[in-house]
Amino acid sequence: MHFPLLVFQEVPWQRLYGQTTSTTTEVRAMRTSIRLWNLIILLSASLALMPAVQAEELSRAAILSASCEGCHGTGGRSPGAIPPIAGKSAEYLREALESFRSGEREATVMGRHATGYSDEEIRQIAEYFSKQ
């Protein structure tokens, strides 16, 4: 019994003598068709897996707040002993950062972090975490 669908390569002697049969031509056509369908399936799957929403543009505040998220958790939602800052009012966060920066409020790490920010950057960070 002959299974032409299982033939995927030419027989070497056919290449040597330049002989091709209709079976070889059919196999070539089938191989091309399979490759085309594989490409269509692959492209369809990759398009389906792409996120439907566009990536949000990172704001300056989001970039500045990245260092805060190292201790206070992603989006300011701390899972541990460090206090969460997500959802606190922007005014409270701004005042806290300014008091850390001036040394009025004592802390081990926050004073060093806050001294690196300008008034505008502190305002942006406070607004960012108040919206989280």
Per-residue pLDDT tens digits for 37-86: 877 877 777 777 666 544 455 788 888 888 898 889 888 998 888 889 99
Q: What is the pLDDT of residue 122?
A: 94
- For the chain, give me the number of helices (H) and strands (E)? 7, 0
Cα separation, 101 vs 34, whole angstroms: 66
Q: What is the pLDDT of residue 49?
A: 67
How many residues appear in the chain? 132
Six token digits for residue 126: 């406070």
The average confidence (pLDDT) of the chain is 79
Cα Rg, the chain, nearest whole Å: 32
Six token digits for residue 82: 């460090």
pTM (predicted TM-score) = 0.56
Which one-letter amino acid corresponds to residue 16? L
Cα separation, 62 vs 64, whole angstroms: 5
Six token digits for residue 115: 């001294």
127 within 8 A of 121, measured Cβ to Cβ: no
The CATH architecture that domain 60-130 belongs to is: Orthogonal Bundle (1.10)
Average the pLDDT over 94-110 and give the result.
Answer: 92
- What is the number of alpha carbons within 13 Å of residue 97 lying toward its C-beta? 26
Which one-letter amino acid corresponds to residue 102? S
- The structural domains of the chain, with segments of one domain joined by +, span 4-49, 60-130
